[in-house]
């Protein structure tokens, strides 16, 4: 396989791309196995599946942490005026792009087709409901699951919070306090997790918030809520800020500090919870659950730091790295979107989950044994690795095709791809409706 020697300006991000590759590949492996493996083998009392479930549970925190590291490092590396900063503009575009894709991939042709009647019925519904509330008719078409708050939303909100802290520090002329503000925001998100969960134990939603925004915090359609998952992005941004300010995580001194931080994130919350449990029992019904929920967030962030340290140790003396592995880490968004299309039938409504639910269970049972599932998972991951290695050629073809359709042949903005994708979705839905009515 080809190897790539990183440029000196990017040496410090060398280990981060490798960590991103590991996290996205673990995500692919976890999602495929959970979907394909027969239900009877998903027993957490079995040591093998228990280890798998534990690794899978820490994949998202790892990916969110590394995302925050990269974003903040690039934001602070040049230290230019925010009003003329190209990184701030790119950061805002990145947030908009992530939110755009987050909602686009939740459009489902099959759901829309099921919720639509004849053309006359739809026109009557449109004229009545749209005039009263535009969201009512839109929700009628796309369904409630369109507003699900998943990991792309979480990353976008986490990056937006990071940008907000950075701009706020610049506005009050306290840029040297940016890491402190990030730590404060991280701890706030972690401490708010048990508070929000306890609230949702007795309430269905937060008051005065529409369902769309209520999903940001909890509820039926909240997968990666702001509390605590944005804490991982903000915590990663704290590390990225330190690296941009001169902290070298690849030295023995840097690794020692990371190890101390990882251990502290486990030990201090446990000691704190033990000492305060008796006091808090007078103020809340479930103090033990409160701290157990909080400890899990610290634990996951600590494990993310440990894995980052392992990657640093494995790569710090290397002058070259596998080009394909690096490409996987640099193209996590296209990989994530494609895996949604393939596994969950995003947009089209036809994916691997559709096959599993529509085919007779007994017919698939021989192919859903543990070892066969692992073999299929390896093939599945291999396909995405090949996709990442050919991403440049595929991206160029995609941009030329979309730009030609929308008369922007020279534009390379990410928003151009979003406009093109939106137009293709509308065109695809019209074609889908025509075919389904034949």
pLDDT-derived band at 209, boundaries 50, 70, 90: confident
Q: How do residues 335-345 score in pLDDT, each as one tens digit?
A: 998 899 889 88
Total domains in the fold of the chain: 1
pLDDT-derived band at 409, boundaries 50, 70, 90: very low
Residue 211 inside a domain? The answer is yes
Q: How do residues 258-316 score in pLDDT, each as one tens digit?
A: 777 777 766 766 665 555 555 555 545 554 455 555 556 767 777 777 777 777 776 66
Residue 269 inside a domain? The answer is yes
Q: How do residues 12-28 score in pLDDT, each as one tens digit?
A: 467 788 888 988 999 99
Is 318:1 a contact under the CB 8 Å cutoff?
Answer: no
Comparison of pLDDT for 372 and 82, the residue scoring more: 372
- Token pair 């996987």 in the structure block, residue: 328
My answer on whether omega of the bond before 85 falls inside 30° of 0, hence cis, is: no
Residue 137 inside a domain? The answer is no
Residue 133 inside a domain? The answer is no
Comparison of pLDDT for 328 and 247, the residue scoring more: 328
Residue 49 inside a domain? The answer is no
In degrees rounded to 5, what are phi and psi of residue 385? -65, -45
- Token pair 């969201």 in the structure block, residue: 135
Residue 428 inside a domain? The answer is no
Burial class of 433 by CB neighbour count within 10 A (0 to 12, 13 to 18, 19+): middle
Comparison of pLDDT for 210 and 155, the residue scoring more: 155
Residue 254 inside a domain? The answer is yes
Q: Collect all residues with Cβ–Cβ distance below 8 Å to 272 and sequence separation of at least 6.
A: 291
pLDDT-derived band at 78, boundaries 50, 70, 90: low
pLDDT-derived band at 81, boundaries 50, 70, 90: low
202 lies in which domain range? 58-106+148-319
Q: Looking at the predicted structure, is the pLDDT value of residue 434 above 80?
A: no
């Amino acid at each position: 396989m080809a190897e790539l020697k990183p440029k000196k300006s990017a040496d410090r991000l060398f280990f981060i791309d490798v960590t991103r590759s590991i996290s996205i590949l673990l995500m692919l492996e976890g999602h495929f196995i959970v979907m394909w493996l027969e239900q009877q083998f998903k027993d957490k009392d079995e040591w093998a599946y228990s280890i798998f479930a534990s690794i899978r549970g820490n994949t998202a925190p790892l990916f969110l942490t590394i995302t925050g590291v990269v974003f903040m490092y690039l934001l602070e590396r040049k230290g230019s005026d925010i009003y003329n900063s190209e990184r701030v503009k790119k950061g805002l575009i990145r947030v908009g792009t992530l939110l755009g894709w987050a909602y686009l991939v939740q459009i489902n042709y099959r759901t829309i087709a099921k919720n639509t009647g004849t053309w006359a019925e739809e026109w009557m519904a449109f004229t009545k409901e749209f005039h009263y509330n535009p969201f009512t008719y839109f929700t009628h078409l796309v369904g409630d699951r369109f507003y699900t708050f998943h990991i792309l939303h979480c990353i976008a909100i986490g990056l937006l919070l990071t940008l907000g802290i950075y701009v706020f520090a610049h506005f009050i002329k306290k840029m040297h306090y940016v890491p402190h503000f990030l730590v404060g925001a991280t701890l706030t998100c972690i401490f708010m997790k048990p508070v929000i969960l306890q609230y949702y134990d007795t309430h269905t939603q937060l008051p005065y918030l529409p369902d769309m925004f209520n999903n940001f915090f909890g509820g039926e359609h909240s997968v990666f809520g702001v509390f605590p998952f944005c804490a991982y992005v903000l915590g990663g941004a704290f590390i990225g800020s330190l690296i941009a300010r001169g902290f070298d995580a690849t030295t023995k001194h840097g690794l020692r500090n990371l190890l101390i931080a990882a251990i502290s994130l486990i030990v201090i919350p446990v000691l704190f919870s033990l000492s305060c449990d008796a006091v808090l029992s007078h103020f809340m019904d479930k103090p033990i659950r409160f701290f157990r929920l909080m400890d899990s967030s610290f634990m996951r962030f600590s494990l993310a730091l440990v894995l980052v340290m392992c990657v640093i140790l494995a790569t710090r003396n290397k002058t070259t790295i596998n080009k394909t592995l690096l490409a996987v880490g640099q193209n996590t968004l296209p990989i994530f979107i494609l895996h949604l299309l393939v596994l969950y039938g995003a947009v089209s409504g036809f994916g691997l989950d559709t096959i599993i639910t529509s085919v007779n269970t007994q017919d698939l049972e021989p192919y859903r044994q543990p070892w066969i599932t692992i073999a299929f998972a390896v093939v599945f991951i291999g396909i995405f690795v090949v996709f990442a290695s050919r991403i440049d050629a595929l991206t160029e073809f995609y941009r030329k095709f979309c730009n030609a359709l929308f008369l922007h042949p020279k534009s390379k903005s990410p928003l151009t791809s979003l406009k093109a994708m939106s137009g293709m979705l509308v065109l695809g839905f019209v074609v889908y409706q025509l075919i389904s009515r034949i």
